[in-house]
Amino acid sequence: MSTNDKLAPGVTLGRYELLLPIAQGGMATVWAARQKGSRGFQKTVAVKTMLPSLSEDPQFEQMFLDEAALAAKIHHPNVAEILDLGEEEDILYIVMEWVDGEALSTITKQAKKLNVTIQHHIALKAISQACLGLHAAHELKDDEGQILHLVHRDVSPQNILVTYDGIVKLVDFGVAKAMGRAGGETTAGQLKGKVPYMSPEQARGGNVDRKTDIFAMGIVLYKLTTGLHPFLGENDLVTMKNIIGRPVPSPRLKNPQFPVELEQVILKCLQKSLKSASKQCWSCIRQSKKCKLQWGRRLSTTTWDRSFDRSSVTAVKSVGWHCAMRFVHSMSARRHLRARQRRLPCSTTR
């Protein structure tokens, strides 16, 4: 049995005590963990460990190391921060900031279960914050000031976290690609990313750039505001064919009351022509600011402008977020109960 197979609550990796697994993807497991310091210092963090089945694969090990190296360079309030990289008895692990919240995928599932509609301005604010973090990644530069051309390649609701205070954090650069990174190249017969959120060039196995991430964000926004996926088929192969060849269905076909301005933002993100596709997350954010959506309680112009201002994006908390967070409060209570049972120190401040 490998050392990785023995990972369990209570196991210590360096300064970090594993408490409980909270998520598992195709490449790694994420644990809630406790960082221990001198004189009783403690801090809750997230620790990502590679799956045992992949730990002996040099390619996946390089991808894991690349994720730590790339993401650690991004310093932005809408990107989960990488704190440390360590190795303990041949176990590689990445330490990240603890995000006290839920994935956007969890929020939407809970909303559907409770038959609650996420209002358009809330959805747009969430995606706009995620775009701010994505823009920071796209503009990342090396030590010589050259753009790294970083592409996330796995933008999806599972990788967009929303804190209970209403701050959005982009996570998981595990399949990110940057110029000069050998581990980021796609080999023949291998696709990186989640099929339902791929761009046409990604589905074809072609070259990707930042437009790939913008296309994926457009799919997320489409699904978040309509409840439907624009390209979803009965299986992954059909979905990929739809992404490559099927026109984007207008949100207003299903709902004539769908705001025209919001539809324009979505369609701008989902342009399939490389010439006409949006090349900057920031341009999509600027267009979203112009939306004059007809929701029941319109945000004031001052609040709307401040919510997209780079310098104050972390300080603005729209009252609309409290509506979205009602979906996850019950899940929060259960998670905190489990945490207390395992003596996990959690913040109860809202």
Residue 159 has pLDDT above 80, yes or no: yes
Closest Cα to residue 106, out of 348, 330, 344? 330
Nearest Cα to Cα of residue 217 among 286, 149, 271: 271
Domain 101-327 has CATH 1.10.510.10: yes
Q: What is the mean pLDDT of the chain?
A: 77
Contact 107, 113 (CB under 8 A): no
pLDDT score, position 40: 86
**Range 312-332 average pLDDT:** 38
pLDDT at 4: 52
Residue 42 has pLDDT above 60, yes or no: yes
pLDDT tens, position by position, 96-155 = 999 999 999 999 998 888 888 888 888 888 998 999 999 999 999 888 888 888 898 899
- CATH 3.30.200.20 in the chain: give the residue spans: 4-98
| Whether the predicted pLDDT of 182 surpasses 50 | no
Nearest by Cα to 63 from 140, 192, 174 = 174
Determine whether domain 4-98 maps to CATH 3.30.1490.20: no
pLDDT of residue 89: 83
| Chain position carrying tokens 């190296």 | 69
Torsion of CA 333, 132, 213, 156, to 10 degrees: 10
Look up 142 and say whether it is catalytic: no
Percent pLDDT > 90 in the chain is 38
Q: What is the pTM of this model?
A: 0.78
For residue 292, pLDDT over 70 is answered with: no
The residue written with tokens 């497991």 in the block is: 29
* 161 contacts: CB under 8 Å, gap ≥ 6: 80, 99, 101, 102, 103, 104, 168, 169, 170, 171
Q: Which of 33, 29, 37 is nearest to 45 (CA)?
A: 33
Domain with CATH 1.10.510.10 in the chain: 101-327
Residue 143 φ then ψ, to 5°: -65, -20
> Which residue of the set 154, 172, 305, 309 is catalytic?
154
